[in-house]
């Protein structure tokens, strides 16, 4: 391996980049777990709440199901916004450094 590539690999910036990426990924995965498994466990344990009508016949459960779907998309979008704004510029900079002859 070229010495410039090696120095990037061992640099503090690169380690920060990788650690930051997994921090965001795992935090968003945790939120996804809370959103979806929270919903499932809520249905299993508190049927009354889920069955309560909010307006007319519409129940809380219907809103919650729609909320889980919308929430899953929002989390995905949040990751993309973070990656486009924070991750990609950092990658571009390190990549340029590693590929410098």
Partner 1 sequence: MQTSLGSPTLSAIVSFLVIVLLTLAVTYWAARRTRSTREFYAAGRSIKPFQNGLALAGDYMSAASFLGIAGLVALRGYDGMIYATGWLVGWPALMFLIAEPLRNLGKFTFADVVAFRLRQVPVRIAAAFGGILTLIFYVLAQMVGAGNLITLMFGLSYNWAVIIVGGVMLAYVLFGGMIATTWVQIIKAILLLFGVTLLTLLVLAKFQFSPGQLYAAVAARYGQAALEPGGLVSDPIDAVSLGLALMFGLLGLPHILMRFYTVPDARAARSSVLYATGFIGYFYLIIPIVGFGASALVGREIIRKVDSGGNMAAPLVAELLGGTSFLGFIAAVAFATILAVVAGLTLAGASALSHDIFTHAIKKGHASEHEQIRVARIATVIFGLVAVVLGILFKGQNVAFMVGLAFAIAASGNFPALLLSIVWSRFNTAGAVCSIVTGALLAVVLIVLSPTIWVDLLHHPAAIFPLRNPAIVSMPVGFLTGIIASLATREPEAEARFHDEKLRTYLGIGAE
Using CB under 8 A, list all residues that contact partner 1.
1, 5, 8-9, 14, 17-18, 21-22, 24-26, 28-29, 32, 35-37, 39-41, 43-45, 47, 50-51, 53, 55-59, 61-62, 65-66, 68-70, 72-73, 75-77, 79-80, 83-84, 88, 91, 94-95, 98-99
For residue 91, the number of C-alpha atoms closer than 13 Å in the C-beta half-sphere is 10
Where do the H-state alpha helices sit in the chain? Answer: 3-9, 12-45, 47-51, 60-82, 88-99
Contact yes or no for 83/25 (Cβ under 8 A): no
């Amino acid at each position: 391996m070229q010495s410039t590539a090696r120095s990037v690999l061992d640099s503090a910036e690169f380690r920060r980049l990788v650690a930051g990426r997994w921090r965001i990924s795992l935090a968003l995965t945790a939120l996804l777990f809370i959103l979806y498994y929270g919903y499932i466990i809520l249905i299993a344990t508190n049927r009354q709440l889920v069955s309560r009508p909010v307006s007319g016949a519409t129940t809380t459960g219907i809103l919650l199901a729609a909320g889980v779907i919308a929430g899953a998309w929002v989390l995905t979008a949040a990751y993309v916004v973070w990656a486009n704004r924070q991750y990609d510029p950092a990658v571009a900079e390190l990549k340029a450094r590693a590929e410098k002859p």
